[in-house]
Structure 1
Amino acid sequence: MVWTTAAAPRLAEALGIVLGTDRIPVRLRAWDGSEAGPPGAPVIEIRSRRALRRLLWSPGQLGLGRAYVAGELDLPGDVFGTVAALTATGRLTEPVPLTARERWRLLRTAASLRALGPEPAPPPEEVDLGGHGGRHTKARDAAAVSHHYDLGNDFYAVVLGPSLAYSCAVWDDRSGGLEAAQQAKHDLVCRKLGLRPGMRVLDVGCGWGSFALHAARRYGADVLGVTLSPEQAALGRERVSGAGLAERIEIRVQDYRDVDDGPFDAISSIGMSEHVGDDQIDGYAAHLHGLLRPGARLLNHAIARRTGDPWRAGEAQHDPGTFMARYVFPDTEVLSLTRMIGALEASGLEVLDVEALRPHYALTLRAWTQRLEEHWDEAVHLVGEGRARVWRLYMVAAAWTFESGRQGVNQVLVHRPGDTPPPLARPWRASADR
């Protein structure tokens, strides 16, 4: 064993083992000031031996993520470029266990840097929902939603901007602003649903009421919004009251499975069905079908994994070994587009339109990240540095998944067959003069 006083070369060896490569794609800067790795490459700062110890116990994205959240590892410079470089080998995005030889090499390397020891406790931002019963019970779904969405409305305003719209925006071009892109998304959904004055609309997973406000204000709809987040509901009601639309919009803290006061003339589900889960998606589609009047439309806007992707088919995003499951979206499951459409069709709904928006989500995530960076000190004041770091890493990594094509996002428009025939053309394609 070669014992060296310079930490960076040994750290580079350890990272190479984890990434499955002899030539790491980043430059490492160690706690002792030493550096290793290709000059000019994105830089990772390893501030503490505890970062290596975390990697020894969890050799993959979870170990690296824990070290970053705890401040033991930092990503100065272009964090998007750093994440892209780290994921290029594929070992951080696919759960390939280390071989016995790789584990032994990693152990020897950690020993040479005096980094051996018990597993460090996870940062307090990590969540374990095991005490709330099985996945996708009503109680556990409420706990999962609370973990992510009840961080404080002021923090979400910092990241999302005045629209408080937390889903993929629709960009006319790359130079358009975030607010305009979110309004364009809401308007596109309204047009696809064929909203008209007096129509009764259910908004499943309504968030802070942004879509409900647009549908009521611009299209004259009467909207019921449901969310599991008390903080979202409280601010949503304030926004509704401030807009003078309290007679047209109701926001409830309610599980969609408990909504029983249909029928509705239209249903929107924007960025919510990822929380439903594969085991529950058929019941989700059947329940919403039952809430629609014959001839009425449902729009389901959701992230999708690639069909046939062996990793995502076998290891859903709720895998407890992933950073996203432990820190961001516990119990979330990203389904394939074919699985989603199959569930909707099996419930008796008919597909009218499918639109892919993958590049739009990458732009949206970059815009949110820019807002977080510009308001970093305020974000840290509101939720703490650890939570702000969780959000920075999550949004950058998510942007990479859309830019690389590993995930997509789709709007699926369906209707419940009835006396009203589906349109021969797609009138929602042209922007309305509103």
Structure 2
Amino acid sequence: MNDTAGRLEKLVQQVLGRPLPLRLRAWDGSQAGPPQGPTLVLRDRRALHRLIWKPGELGLARAWVAGEIDIEGDLYEALDRLSGIVWDHDEPERGRFPVLRRLAALRDPRNLRLAAEILALAGSAVPPPPPPEEAARYRGPLHSLRRDGRAISHHYDVGNDFYSLVLGPSMVYSCAYWECPEATLEDAQRAKLDLVCCKLGLRPGMRLLDVGCGWGSMVLHATEHYGVEAVGVTISQEQATFARKRLAEAGLTDRVDIRIQDYREIEDGPYDAISSIGMAEHVGSIQFRAYADILHSLLKPGGRLLNHQIARRPLKDETAYEIDEFIDRYVFPDGELAPVGTTTALLEDAGFEVRDVEALREHYALTLRAWVSNLEQQWSQAVRLTTAGRARVWRLYMAASALAFEQNSIGVNQILAVRTTREGNADMPRTRSNWLNTISAD
């Protein structure tokens, strides 16, 4: 009787330094590991080739995208058990896929024998081609206008119908604000948009710039409920098309301008307020100070900026920061995370006064779980709208990200900053409760 699963379990245990916390089922039907809980399924021996030739995140990511490995049972529990393999309170930077980093130990020459044994189970030394249709690799200077445009297109121009299925009617692709556990995703996204509008102190007649406006939800909400005139910029063609259609249907095209424009190309300031919600992660560390300078220059004196941004945990040695290969290749090409302290310091260097920082880490975990639920409940349609590989990428990255927020591997923060006047007057309420309880214009 074949015992591929048993042999493989022993080899993986030697690499990880502890037992695999999931049941394992191989392509030949053999099983090994704990009898209870989720099962890691190896549907095809080619997954082992990918692990050997690209140890760590990229190899297993390719196997996942190709459908050669899968999880039966609770995906969150499976990822949580795997993350427990490398849990270390002294090393806060674990990323979304810590177990895949540990598997990269197969690169170590001391593990060549283990790698050879795993390859023998695969039955061939020829690596399979990767599933290229789901990956993105770009050339040219990092965070140049052209390269950023291609990276954004890879992530956002995958079909508005697909995003509508995942995000729901709000079409908001950022952390919601869950005022009570019973709230729906739509309620929570509406509350988030209200929170941003209140922090910005929006009033009728103000001029708002929304940087990275997505499908137009923020400018639509601010115009309808707070009476502003708005400009929304995106470098995604599909987002701009969708946003313009929404605004036309709402009869707001005379009050909102949706542009396909990079933030570096905006020259029509000053604005009374600027929102940047879930966009700064794409800016990159080498560009962030320039980004802060540009937004500062676009605000009138006394104007407010709301920067809503995912943050990673700080490292003892910041030069050791590495971007998750899976995220970089399959999800957000060229995206980077920075500690919240770094972000606030750069905003202050640009001349802003940081007035408030609110952590919403738990809120993003709830948001991601809602998106995963939408995707899983409409899986067949999601595959038809994109590809099976793309749908699998989104399911894995959103579920893993939910756990990363829950486990404090990453966070998300709203930073409210002000371009103060020469006299130092920021025209801010003296207490947080005053602007949090602002009543919308309608």
1:248-263 matches, cutoff 5 A: 248-263=255-270
Query: Is 1:270 equivalent to 2:273 in the alignment?
Result: no
**Partner secondary structure for residue 2 of structure 2:** coil
Query: Is 1:158 equivalent to 2:165 in the alignment?
Result: yes
* Shift, 1:92, TM fit: 2.3
Answer yes or no: is the 8 Å Cα contact 2:46–2:122 preserved in 1: no
Q: 1:179 aligns with which of 181, 186, 195?
A: 186
Distance 1:337 1:360 in 2: 17
Which consecutive unaligned segments of at least 5 residues does structure 2 have?
A: 87-97
Amino acid in the other structure paired with 1:89:
I
Distance 1:149 1:13 in 2: 41
* Shift, 1:26, TM fit: 0.5
Moved more, 98-107 or 166-175: 98-107
What is the TM-score with the length of structure 1 in the denominator?
0.94
Query: Is 1:242 equivalent to 2:238 in the alignment?
Result: no
1:129-144 matches, cutoff 5 A: 129-131=137-139, 133-144=140-151
1:241-390 matches, cutoff 5 A: 241-308=248-315, 310=317, 314-317=320-323, 322-390=325-393
Aligned twin of 2:430 = 424
Query: Is 1:40 equivalent to 2:36 in the alignment?
Result: yes
Query: Is 1:121 equivalent to 2:129 in the alignment?
Result: yes
How far does the alpha carbon of each residue in 1:26-74 deviate from its partner, in whole angstroms, 9 at most, with x for none?
Answer: 1001111110011103211101110111111122222111111101111
**Partner secondary structure for residue 99 of structure 2:** coil
* Shift, 1:287, TM fit: 0.5
Q: 1:414 aligns with which of 409, 413, 417?
A: 417
Distance 1:313 1:363 in 2: 32
Answer yes or no: is the 8 Å Cα contact 1:281–1:343 preserved in 2: yes
What is the TM-score with the length of structure 2 in the denominator?
0.92
Q: 1:396 aligns with which of 393, 396, 399?
A: 399
**Partner secondary structure for residue 130 of structure 1:** coil
Aligned twin of 2:115 = 106
Distance 1:27 1:136 in 2: 42
Answer yes or no: is the 8 Å Cα contact 1:157–1:164 preserved in 2: yes
Distance 1:89 1:146 in 2: 35
Q: CA 1:259–1:12 in 2, change beyond 3 Å: closer, same or farther?
A: same
Answer yes or no: is the 8 Å Cα contact 1:52–1:115 preserved in 2: no
Moved more, 349-358 or 423-432: 423-432
Which consecutive unaligned segments of at least 5 residues does structure 1 have?
A: none
Q: CA 1:241–1:370 in 2, change beyond 3 Å: closer, same or farther?
A: same
* Shift, 1:424, TM fit: 1.3
Q: 2:48 aligns with which of 52, 64, 68?
A: 52
How far does the alpha carbon of each residue in 1:310-345 deviate from its partner, in whole angstroms, 9 at most, with x for none?
Answer: 5x752342x5xx111110001000011011001100
Distance 1:114 1:271 in 2: 42
Amino acid in the other structure paired with 1:127:
A
Answer yes or no: is the 8 Å Cα contact 2:134–2:390 preserved in 1: no
Answer yes or no: is the 8 Å Cα contact 2:11–2:118 preserved in 1: yes
* Shift, 1:14, TM fit: 3.7
Aligned twin of 1:74 = 70
Amino acid in the other structure paired with 1:154:
D
Query: Identity of counterpart residues, as a percentage?
Result: 52
Distance 2:36 2:218 in 1: 45
**Partner secondary structure for residue 203 of structure 2:** coil
**Partner secondary structure for residue 231 of structure 2:** strand
Answer yes or no: is the 8 Å Cα contact 1:316–1:333 preserved in 2: no
Aligned twin of 2:152 = 145
Q: 2:8 aligns with which of 11, 19, 22?
A: 11
